[in-house]
Amino acid sequence: MSPVTNPTASPAAANAPVFDADRAFAHVRRMVEIGPRPAGSKELARTREMIVNELRSYNLQVSVDEFDTRTPVGKRRMANVTAELAGESSDQIIIASHYDTKLVKEFRFVGANDSGSSTGTVMEIARVLALSHQNKKPRFTLRFVFFDGEEAFCENWDDCGTEKEPDNTYGSRRYVAQLIDKGELKRVRALILLDMIGYKNLQIPRESTGTAWLTDIIWTTARETNHAAQFVNESESITDDHIPFLNAGINAVDLIQFGGYGEYWHTAEDTLDKISPQSLKAVGDVVLASLPRIEERLMNKNTR
């Protein structure tokens, strides 16, 4: 699919950094080569080191929040990674992904799509935005967050845990709890969550629990940038890392394709050959093009 061109674009705009599909795909490849990366594993620690080093190479401020949490398989040490690009306002827009893979004992689960694709894409989005704002701060502070412990340790999402302490979304629940404890909840104006966005036959539906105006902006932008085929006007309800943010009153959207990828989900077939660099780029381009519109909407201080 050819990109939209603007014949009147200025030389500065023509030389602006763009989302590099090959770089994003290389990040996914590195994660797959590390292998299964369940929360608390040495493989996930290696993945985390890779993510932190890459983000620091973009001159972003990077922090790692390590925490111990109870799980159905015992205490696990987890860690969320946050990179920050300071803006004119201390109010934040978060672009996020989980970076762990599901704990599977029966086969080798490398999670190329879940969670490699979204992690690699958020890393590349971070690079583009860091370069774009080398000489001028963005309107809002931009945070790139990589959640640990999204996956359930039990076989199915709701097999274990309780309503207040579910066996899933450990990292995102920790992140929101910290915002509340620090009195920083109101500073987070929007969350854009990515998860399972790399399938070569990409068709992302509108996740129905997300904030309507945020979803509308992204889907309108997708249509206007020739990515309507990847952002379809179907609806699907997904429980994911955006739910703790929505429950706390934060605008949030989840970009995820589950339907159509279900035969590979949490199987040994979630491998690199299912992932397309062009799918990563479609999502990256749409998120980047949507940000100025999201910022404009959020300039209205009453928008929550």
| Mean pLDDT score, 225-239 | 97
**Per-residue pLDDT at 14 exceeds 60:** no
Rounded-to-integer distance, Cα 218 and Cα 289, Å: 8
Per DSSP, the three-state class of 69 is strand
Longest alpha-carbon distance in the chain: 59
Percent of the chain clearing pLDDT 90 (strictly above): 92
Confidence at residue 108, expressed as pLDDT on a 0 to 100 scale: 98
Rounded-to-integer distance, Cα 295 and Cα 297, Å: 5
Looking at 58-192, list the stretches that DSSP marks H as alpha helix, in order from N- to C-terminal side: 118-132, 170-181
Confidence at residue 10, expressed as pLDDT on a 0 to 100 scale: 43
CA separation, residue 248 to residues 141, 185, 291 (Å): 20, 8, 22
Domain ranges of the chain: 19-298
Contact between 50 and 30 (Cβ < 8 Å)? yes
Of the CATH numbers 3.40.630.10, 3.40.50.300, 3.30.465.10, 1.10.3720.10, which one belongs to the domain with range 19-298? 3.40.630.10
Contact between 152 and 100 (Cβ < 8 Å)? no
**Per-residue pLDDT at 11 exceeds 80:** no
Confidence at residue 3, expressed as pLDDT on a 0 to 100 scale: 36
Q: What is the mean pLDDT of the chain?
A: 94
Q: What is the pLDDT of residues 140-193, one digit of tens each?
A: 999 999 999 999 999 999 999 999 999 999 999 999 999 999 999 999 999 999
Query: CB within 8 A of 111, min separation 6: which ones?
Result: 31, 32, 36, 37, 101, 102, 270
CA separation, residue 263 to residues 167, 178, 234, 274 (Å): 23, 36, 19, 12
User: How does DSSP assign 188-236, residue by residue?
Assistant: EEEEEEEES--BTT--EEEETTS-HHHHHHHHHHHHHTT-TTTEEEEEE
**Per-residue pLDDT at 60 exceeds 70:** yes
**Per-residue pLDDT at 8 exceeds 60:** no
**Per-residue pLDDT at 304 exceeds 60:** no
Confidence at residue 301, expressed as pLDDT on a 0 to 100 scale: 64
Confidence at residue 15, expressed as pLDDT on a 0 to 100 scale: 73
Task: Name the band, by pLDDT with cuts 50, 70 and 90, for residue 300.
Answer: confident
* 72 sits in which H/E element: none
